């Protein structure tokens, strides 16, 4: 982990251009300054779910001007925690097997994943919460404490990333099918009430500022759907980040509904839906492209640059492939393929192992569908790579070579094996 922190600092930190999104830090600074949950210091915003900006604001208060270094160290700790959870989950699924060591090793070597965990974005917290859920769902005995812990994880995922809603919608039914020592109805009631209590403050904020509460944790549903209609043929996506379209979209929003974030988002959603109805074939083709991008071992976007030219003949200017991420493509492909094989083995098993395999499959399918409708970045899939590394370790550990069995035995304190 120290090597990744050093590499991240050498690549980004020395130039003051730390990897991530400045919007989180802007909202956090406004919170610390007493300007409320705003992007401009004046108007309330719901463009970002509140979890990560609030965590950054807390770090700024405690660490002062060293808040960025403190954030990186905290997220490095979360990355280590994710490796520990991968080891624990794999140990529960495949006891007395090298699967846990293999799964942890695969994820530790996953360079793009580890670098993303250090970026100024919510990915580290989202991945940690997702792995906590996986560990909790595999516990042999389940009671009220487990229900509250699952509720905390579900609420945290909802409050740090918009797709946390999809994770909640997938996880809660699986939790309801779990045998509970304290009675299913009572325990699920406790879980749902806990989730409701944790997300209620954010829903009250959005209701007070933007109208009746919706299910989505951010106000970018229409914004992202509209952006997805702009990433079709003729655009620079997936060569460039889809966020390169943001400036033009923000100018459009400012002209349509200045200062009214909710109305602007609704307007963009109507435009996007009309475009989809007019060209369903083009929409389907773009969805297939997005689905392929979501499962691609190559980084999306493929590089960095900017858009030049004008009119119908845009050109890429100063474009450079992201070779640092591309070099990891063979390993990522290995994790994706072996992970799918491992999930297949879990689905063929029984009990909690089959339930975990089914949960992973449904979760992957739902998130794949959501991002196919809008647009894709590799970082949106990275939390799922942690789950796939668990399955990959199990599949690779079914028939380990003798040297690996001996190494695992030594690590477990049994040199005579």
Query: For residues 144 and 146, what is the distance between their CA atoms, to the nearest angstrom?
Result: 5
380: left (phi over 0), alpha (psi -120 to 50) or beta: alpha
pLDDT tens for residues 250-261? 777 777 766 677
Task: Give Dmax over CA atoms of the chain in angstroms.
Answer: 74
pLDDT tens for residues 31-57? 999 999 998 888 888 888 999 999 999
Query: For residues 400 and 397, what is the distance between their CA atoms, to the nearest angstrom?
Result: 5
375: left (phi over 0), alpha (psi -120 to 50) or beta: beta
For residue 305, the SS3 value is strand
Question: pLDDT band at residue 345, thresholds of 50, 70 and 90?
Answer: very high
Question: pLDDT band at residue 116, thresholds of 50, 70 and 90?
Answer: very high
Question: pLDDT band at residue 397, thresholds of 50, 70 and 90?
Answer: confident
The CA-based angle 163-164-170, given to 5 degrees, is 95
Q: Helix axis angle, 123-137 relative to 351-373, nearest 10°?
A: 150
Q: DSSP assignment, residue 235? A: S
Nearest Cα residue to 317 out of 304, 335, 301, 328: 304
Q: What is the pLDDT of residue 314?
A: 59
Nearest Cα residue to 357 out of 90, 176, 24: 90
Query: For residues 229 and 224, what is the distance between their CA atoms, to the nearest angstrom?
Result: 9
How many Cα atoms sit within 13 Å of 410 on the Cβ side?
6
pLDDT tens for residues 169-195? 999 999 998 888 888 899 999 999 999
Q: What is the pLDDT of residue 12?
A: 53
Please, are residues 85 and 131 in contact by the beta-carbon 8 Å criterion? yes
Between residues 180 and 238, the one the model is more confident about:
180
**Does position 107 have pLDDT exceeding 60, yes or no?**
yes
pLDDT tens for residues 254-308? 777 666 777 777 778 888 888 888 888 888 888 888 899 999 999 998 888 777 6
Query: For residues 172 and 183, what is the distance between their CA atoms, to the nearest angstrom?
Result: 15
Nearest Cα residue to 280 out of 325, 229, 314: 229
In the chain, pLDDT over 70 holds for what percent of residues? 83
Nearest Cα residue to 47 out of 161, 158, 143: 161
Q: What are phi and psi of 308, to 5 degrees?
A: -125, -175
**Residue boundaries of the structural domains of the chain:** 2-216+325-411
Q: What is the pLDDT of residue 408?
A: 59
Paired strand residues for 321: 303
Can you state the percent helix, strand and coil of the chain, rounding each to 5? Answer: 70, 5, 25
Please, are residues 411 and 102 in contact by the beta-carbon 8 Å criterion? no
Between residues 407 and 336, the one the model is more confident about:
336
Q: DSSP characters for 10-46?
A: HHTGGGT--SB-HHHHHHHHHHHTT--SBSSSSSB--
**Does position 403 have pLDDT exceeding 60, yes or no?**
no
Q: Kindly report the pTM of this predicted structure.
A: 0.88
For residue 5, the SS3 value is helix
């Amino acid at each position: 982990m120290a090597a990744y922190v050093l590499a991240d600092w050498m690549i980004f930190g020395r130039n003051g251009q730390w990897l991530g999104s400045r919007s989180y830090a802007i909202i956090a600074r406004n919170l610390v300054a007493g300007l409320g949950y705003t992007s401009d210091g004046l108007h309330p915003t719901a463009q970002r779910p509140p979890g990560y900006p609030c965590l950054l604001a807390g770090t700024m208060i405690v660490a002062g001007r060293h808040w960025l270094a403190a954030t990186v160290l905290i997220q490095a700790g979360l990355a280590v925690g994710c490796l520990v959870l991968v080891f624990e989950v794999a140990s529960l699924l495949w006891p007395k097997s090298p699967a846990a060591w293999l799964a942890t090793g695969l994820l530790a070597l996953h360079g793009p994943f580890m670098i993303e965990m250090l970026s100024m974005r919510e990915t580290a917290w989202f991945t940690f919460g997702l792995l906590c859920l996986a560990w909790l769902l595999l516990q042999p005995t389940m009671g009220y404490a487990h229900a509250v812990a699952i509720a905390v994880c579900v609420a945290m995922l909802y409050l740090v990333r918009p797709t946390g809603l999809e994770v909640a919608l997938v996880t809660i039914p699986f939790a309801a099918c779990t045998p509970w020592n304290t009675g299913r109805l009572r325990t699920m009631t406790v879980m749902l009430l806990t989730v409701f209590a944790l997300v209620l403050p954010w829903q009250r904020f959005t209701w007070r500022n933007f109208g009746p509460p919706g299910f989505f944790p951010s106000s970018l549903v229409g914004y992202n759907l509209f952006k997805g209609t702009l990433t079709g043929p003729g655009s620079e996506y997936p060569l460039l980040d889809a966020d390169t379209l943001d400036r033009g979209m923000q100018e459009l929003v400012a002209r349509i509904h200045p200062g009214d974030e909710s109305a602007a988002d609704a307007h963009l959603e109507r435009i996007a839906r009309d475009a989809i109805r007019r060209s369903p074939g083009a929409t389907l083709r773009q969805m297939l492209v997005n689905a392929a991008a979501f499962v691609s071992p190559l980084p999306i976007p493929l590089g960095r640059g900017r858009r030049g030219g004008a009119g119908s003949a845009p050109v890429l200017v100063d474009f450079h492939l992201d070779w640092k991420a591309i070099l990891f493509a063979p390993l990522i492909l290995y994790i994706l393929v072996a992970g799918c094989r491992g999930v297949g083995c879990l689905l063929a098993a029984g009990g909690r192992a089959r339930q975990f395999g089914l949960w992973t499959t449904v979760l992957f399918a739902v998130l794949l569908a959501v991002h196919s409708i809008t647009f894709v970045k590799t970082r949106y899939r990275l939390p799922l790579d942690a789950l796939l590394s668990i399955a990959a370790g199990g599949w690779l550990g079914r028939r380990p070579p003798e040297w690996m069995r001996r190494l695992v035995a030594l690590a477990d304190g049994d040199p005579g094996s």
